[in-house]
Amino acid sequence: MTLVKWNPNRVLFNWTEDLYNELLNSRGFFNLNRDNWYPHVDIEERENEYVMNMELPGMNKDDINISFNDDVLTVSGEKKDAGEDAKVNYHLNERRYGKFERAFRIHSDIKADKIEAHFRDGILQIGLPKAETAKPKQIEVKVK
């Protein structure tokens, strides 16, 4: 075991680094309750659909709920702490656990009955097919 001399600057540096990380990496800065967390999402538009990819590591499909109502796609669920039941003495605990809910207003006509969701390797992928009215129309220009 190596003994390290106490340095007050190191304590200050770690405190500011933790604050910086919390500010930049967490949407819950003003609510420091570790039970609140928000999975990261990418949403892309393709020719015939919108595709959402949400990171949900450590979860399984039974822990996730998806609904689409009044042009709002809602994804919610709960990530359980593996050490919650056991008396665990953490030295560092940065992972987030607990319930989450994210809602996205879709500003386009969607075929609600054709929405598909797939979950693989901790990534939830939701396909939102565009209705015909939402697809871009090609208009032919005739030259006389």
Extents of the domains making up the chain: 38-134
- Domain 38-134 CATH (choose: 2.60.120.380, 2.60.40.790, 3.90.1150.10, 2.40.50.140): 2.60.40.790
Each residue's pLDDT tens digit in the chain (144 positions)?
A: 556 565 555 545 555 555 555 555 544 444 455 556 889 999 999 989 999 999 999 899 999 999 999 989 999 999 887 665 567 777 887 778 889 999 999 888 889 999 999 999 999 999 999 988 766 667 788 887
Name the DSSP class of 80.
Answer: P
What is the value of pTM for the model shown? 0.67
**CA–CA separation, 13 and 102 (whole Å):** 34
- Burial (CB < 10 A; 0-12, 13-18, 19+), residue 100, is buried
